[in-house]
Structures are given as C-alpha cells and as structure tokens.
Structure 1
C-alpha cells in the first residue's frame, strides 16, 4: 500500500533536538524516524501525532532556516479551550512569543500562535471544524 494525498510538511531548523522537543511539547507529536542525510549533511526527523499518515519533517541544516511567519503556520487541533489556554500560559512562562488566544467563531474556532525555536508559527486551536466542513462537501 502506498500513501496517496498529503503526507508531510517539512521545516528546516538549526537544532533538530530543540525543534523536536518543541513539537513534542506543544504539538503532541513524537519522533518515528530519524537519520543523518548524506545529501544535505544534516539530520532529519519525522514527527507525528499518530492520528493519520501525515508527518512533520524537521531538517537540521547550517545557516538561517526559512520561517513560517505572519499568518503562515502549521495547525494542531486541541481537545479543549482550556488546553489551548494552558499551552499558551506554559509558552509565555518559557519566554516564547504567543499571539492570542482568540475566538474567531465557526468554523475557525478558538486559536493561538506559539512561535517555535526557529521563528515558525504553530497554531493551537479548538473548534476548527475541518472534518465537519469536509463531510458537508462530500455529501
């Protein structure tokens, strides 16, 4: 069986372990694959929440990594508004940049951005009804 459709998003980083720890802590992900890449000379890790065949690929490279900034971001759904609030508070205590939380109503929901160690935005949200919107389109 081969994976078809969306399989991954890749980000570059200066420090793979620091980035992987961030996505473990704030994105609920864990590493399922890690290797040295002889083509780039960097390290690579695949991170997943194990809910679907989709991974975040983190590639450690020398130099300045690109950034998901402004409104560009990765999004993770959370189990409650309280979880979003708790993660934002934790991030603030750690000195991370946090925007929000905000409630944008249906179908966007309650969300906040937390900046990762390389300046990328991770959106934590509750109530983003992507599954509901998708199901309504396929009926």
Structure 2
C-alpha cells in the first residue's frame, strides 16, 4: 500500500475574510473554534483573529472597504465526533447547512461537514482519519528586542 503524506503549516500564513456583520461572524466563528479548541487570539478595531484566520469588517483599515467574495475554508478536526459537534455549533450560531457530517470520497477516511457562515462562505470541518502527526501544532515565539 502506498503511503499518503500531507504537509501542513507551510503554505498559508493567514487568511482574511471581510464580512458584512462582524458581530454575527464573531458569534459563528467563536462557537466553531471553541469546539476545535482554538481560542480567539485577539480583537482590534473592526477585526478579530484566531490562529491564521483574520475576520474584519469592511471599514477596518486592512479591508480597504471591500468585502471578500465567497470562500471555502476547511478546519481540521481531531476526530469524526468533533466534526459533528462543530457542525451543530455552526448551525446553532448562524450557519446554514451545506452538507452534513458524512464520509466523503476525497480519500479513504475523509469525514467532513459543510456549513455556510453568515456571509455565505463555505466552511468545512474535516477529519482525515487515523494518521500519525509529527507534531500537534507549530509554536512560534518572537524575541522582544
């Protein structure tokens, strides 16, 4: 059997979504990320962030007055039960069903659910099946000089 390897943490530095209703987006993403065990990293004038995701209002300086178009973002889950909990939390906090939790044909063990966030972005939560990770996450520390 051929070994399938995937690499994470090398391609995307961050993603910014510019939304119509920042409060609705924060409610949605906070609920979803809470199930994943990812805390909000912080808030600023017209934005909030968690890990590599930045969500801002159109009037925030970084947005330059433009909403982002429909995006597809996939969050990694630790197991299929976490996929299901995320799906329920997303629906309970302003999300709309876009494909309930189920096995998908993308590769063996791919279990995912899809919801639309309050701005219509296609948000996926996926469990890739049993696998060994070289590390649970990447921890980056900056020296304060």
TM-score, length-scaled by structure 2: 0.62
Task: Specify every segment of 5 or more residues in structure 1 that has no aligned partner in the other structure, as ranges.
Answer: 37-42, 49-54, 133-139
Larger helix share, 1 or 2: 1
Q: Partner of 1:66 in structure 2? A: 68
Q: 1:26 aligns with which of 27, 32, 41?
A: 32
In the alignment, structure 1 residue 76 sits paired with structure 2 residue 75? yes
User: TM (normalized to structure 1)?
Assistant: 0.64
**1:112 equivalent in alignment to 2:103:** no
Asked whether 1:100 is paired with 2:100, we answer yes
**Does the 8 Å contact 1:47/1:57 carry over to 2?**
yes
**Aligned partners of 2:89, 2:123: CA distance in 1, in Å?**
14
1:122 counterpart residue number: 123
Gaps of at least 5 residues in structure 2 are 1-9, 60-64, 134-145
- Is contact 2:28-2:93 (8 Å) kept? no
Rate the CA distance shift 1:128–1:17 in 2: closer, same or farther, 3 A.
farther
Q: How many residues align?
A: 114
Change (3 A) 1:13 1:128: farther
Aligned-residue RMSD, C-alpha? 3.0
